[in-house]
Amino acid sequence: MTRLLLTVLMLCALATNTEAASSDDLARRAVERRAVEAVIWGMPAVNTDLMLQEMLRKTTAKTNEIVYWSRPVNWKNQTLTPNPDAIYLMSFWNVKDGPIVIEIPPAEGGSIAGNIVTVWQMPLEDAGPEGADKGKGGKYLILPPGHQGTPPDGYIVLQSDTFSGFALLRSNLPSHGDADIAKSVAYGQRVRIYPLAQAANPPATNFSDAYDTLFDSTIRYDASFFDNLYRIVQTEPWLDRDRAMIDQLRTLGIEKGKPFKPDAKTKGLLDKAAREAHAFLAQRYEDGFPVINEGIRWFPAAMPEIVKGAQGGYSDPDAYPVDARGVTYTLGFTGIKRLGTAQFYLLTNKDKDGRVFDGKASYRLHVPAKAPVKQYWSVTVYDRETHALVRNMTKASVASISPGVAKNADGSVDVFFGPKPPKGKDANWVPTDPKRKFELMFRLYGPEKPLFDKSWKLPDAERVR
C-alpha cells in the first residue's frame, strides 16, 4: 500500500513538473514570437527615436530646435542612407505642449527639399518648391492629436496623430565649392521653428552643428531595441490601427504607465528575437523589390505597397503593409508625400551578373547622357550590413555636381567603385572597404519624365578587372 502511494505521488509530481515545464516553454516561445513581430512593427518609430536620442546625446539641440551639418555629410553621419551631396537640417518636433510652426523661406537664393513626418515616419507634408508651399515659402502648422479649435489663417495646417515626429530639410547644393556650401548653409538657417503661441514675436531658432560628430543611429538588433520601443509606448497615443499590439507588447513587459525592467533571461530572449527579425527583414531586402526597368536590377527604394499605404495614411481597411514598412525603415528614414517630384531614389544590392557587391572588387557604372534631372544626380556607396556610409572612407559619392567629374564625348559619365581608383579617374571614383560588402543608391533630384516613361534607363553596375 505504501509502495502504491509512493508511486502515485511520484507520478503526480512528474505530471506537475511536466506541466510546469510546458508552461515555461509556452511563455518563452510567446516572448520570442511576439518580440520578433514587435521589431518588424516598431521599426519606423524606433528608427526615429534612435536619431532623436543621438541628437540629445551628441549635440546641444533639443526638441523644437534644429540640428544641422555645416558641410555635406561624411562617414561620421551614421544615419541610414544619408545624402552626401546636400546640406542636412533636421528638427525633431514635439507638440505635447501645443501647436508648433515650421517656417520655410521662399526659394530665393536657395531651396529646400523637405519632408515633415510623424514619429511613425508617416508623411504629413512635403516642403519647398515641390511641396505644399510651391517655393513661395510657408508656415507649416503642426497640430497635436485631438486638437480643438479653428487654426488661424495663413498657415499650412498639418493634423498629426502623434505628439512627435521630425522634419528632414535638405538645403539644395549647386556644387561642392566652399562658396556654394556656405550659401546653402546660410539659406538653410533661414528656417524657423517656434510655438504657435509665440507666433506674434517668434523667438530665435537654435541651430546645433553636428558636422564631424559621430552621429550613429543605425538600427540595434538586440534587446536595446525594446528600450526605444518602450519610450515610444510611454510618450505616444495608441493609434487605432495598432491597438492589436497592446497585449503583444504586454507579453514582453512593455505597457503604458508601467516600468520596463526585463530580467537577464528575458533580455536573452529579446536579443534572440531581434536577431531573428533582422534575418527576416534582411532576407526580404536580399530578395529585392520590384525593379523599375525589366531586366535591370535597380529598384525604387520603397516597395509599392508601402508607398501607397504611407501616402494614404494607411487608410485602406484591407491593407496594412507592416512587413514592407519594416524593411523600408531598416534602409533609410523619412516619408515623402509627393514621391517623384523633389527627388527619386533607386537602389541596387547586386551587380549585373547578380553577385553581391564586394569591397575587394572593382566596378563601373555607366550613367547615360541627358540624365532626367532638373538639379543633379548622384550615386552613393553604403555599407551593406548597416545601410549607413562606409566607415573611415574619405569619400562616399560621385554626383553631377562633384568637382572635376569627367564626362565622355557623348555626355555620359562612368563612375567607378573599388578599393583603388582607375588611373586618372579619381574624380569619378568612390572608394570601398575591402573588408565590407556594399550597396548603391542613385538619386535624381528634380526627376523628369524620361525616368518614368522609361525612355532613359540606368544600366547595372558591372564588375571590371
All three cell numbers of 202:
517668434
Same domain membership, residue 111 and residue 246? no
Amino acid at 110: G
* pTM (2 d.p.): 0.93
- For residue 301, give its domain range: 289-464
The model's pLDDT over 86-128, given as tens digits with 9 standing for 90+, comes to 999 999 999 999 999 999 999 999 999 999 999 999 999 999 9
Pair 331, 284: CB distance under 8 Å: no
Share of the chain above pLDDT 90, in %: 92
- Residue 366 CA to residue 22 CA, distance in Å, equals 60
- Residue 58 CA to residue 92 CA, distance in Å, equals 14
Choose one of 245, 263, 284: the last residue of a domain.
284
Same domain membership, residue 227 and residue 143? no
**Does pLDDT of 23 surpass 50?**
yes
Same domain membership, residue 243 and residue 162? no
User: At a CB cut-off of 8 Å and minimum separation 6, what does 404 contact?
Assistant: 426, 427
Tell me what pLDDT residue 14 has: 42
All three cell numbers of 216:
550613429
- Residue 291 CA to residue 348 CA, distance in Å, equals 9
Write out the DSSP string of 401-416: TSTTPPPPTTS-EEEE
**Does pLDDT of 9 surpass 70?**
no
Tell me what pLDDT residue 361 has: 98
Pair 400, 371: CB distance under 8 Å: yes
Pair 188, 105: CB distance under 8 Å: no
The model's pLDDT over 270-313, given as tens digits with 9 standing for 90+, comes to 999 999 999 999 999 998 899 999 999 999 998 899 999 988 88
Same domain membership, residue 251 and residue 360? no
Residue whose cell numbers read 510546469: 20
Write out the DSSP string of 156-186: EEEE-SSSEEEEEEEE--S-SSHHHHHHHHH
Rg (C-alpha) for the chain, rounded Å, is: 25
**Does pLDDT of 33 surpass 70?**
yes
Tell me what pLDDT residue 16 has: 45
Could you tell me the pLDDT band of residue 2, with boundaries at 50, 70 and 90? very low
In 236-263, where does DSSP find H-type helix? 245-252
CATH of the domain at 234: 1.10.3360.10
* Closest to 166 measured CA to CA, from 296, 286, 34, 54: 54
Tell me what pLDDT residue 311 has: 85
Coil, strand, or helix at residue 302?
A: coil
CATH of the domain at 90: 2.60.40.1610
Number of domains in the chain: 3
Coil, strand, or helix at residue 390?
A: coil
Choose one of 212, 239, 264: the last residue of a domain.
212
All three cell numbers of 150:
479653428
Same domain membership, residue 141 and residue 23? no
- Residue 50 CA to residue 219 CA, distance in Å, equals 8
Same domain membership, residue 181 and residue 66? yes
Same domain membership, residue 176 and residue 41? no
Q: Is 341 exposed, middle or buried (0-12, 13-18, 19+ CB in 10 A)?
A: middle
Average pLDDT value for the chain:
94
Residue whose cell numbers read 516619408: 335
- Give me the mean pLDDT over the 384-401 stretch: 98
- Residue 122 CA to residue 450 CA, distance in Å, equals 28
Coil, strand, or helix at residue 81?
A: coil
**Does pLDDT of 10 surpass 50?**
no
**Does pLDDT of 8 surpass 70?**
no
CATH of the domain at 296: 2.60.120.600
Same domain membership, residue 106 and residue 50? no
- Give me the mean pLDDT over the 252-276 stretch: 97
Same domain membership, residue 302 and residue 236? no
Same domain membership, residue 142 and residue 95? yes
Task: Give the DSSP H or E segment for 397.
Answer: strand 397-399
User: At a CB cut-off of 8 Å and minimum separation 6, what does 53 contact?
Assistant: 217, 228
- Residue 333 CA to residue 49 CA, distance in Å, equals 11
User: At a CB cut-off of 8 Å and minimum separation 6, what does 273 contact?
Assistant: 31, 32, 33, 35, 36, 38, 39
The model's pLDDT over 321-379, given as tens digits with 9 standing for 90+, comes to 999 999 999 999 999 999 899 999 999 999 999 999 999 999 999 999 999 999 999 99
Pair 348, 439: CB distance under 8 Å: yes
Same domain membership, residue 354 and residue 269? no
Tell me what pLDDT residue 20 has: 52
Coil, strand, or helix at residue 339?
A: coil
The model's pLDDT over 202-222, given as tens digits with 9 standing for 90+, comes to 999 999 999 999 999 999 999
- Provide the sign of the torsion angle of the four alpha carbons 276, 278, 284, 288, taken in this order: negative
Choose one of 164, 185, 212: the last residue of a domain.
212
Same domain membership, residue 294 and residue 279? no
- Cβ neighbours, 10 Å, residue 304: 12
The model's pLDDT over 127-170, given as tens digits with 9 standing for 90+, comes to 999 999 999 999 999 999 999 989 999 999 999 999 999 999 99
User: At a CB cut-off of 8 Å and minimum separation 6, what does 300 contact?
Assistant: 289, 290, 292, 307, 344, 345, 346, 347
**Does pLDDT of 319 surpass 50?**
yes
- Residue 177 CA to residue 179 CA, distance in Å, equals 5
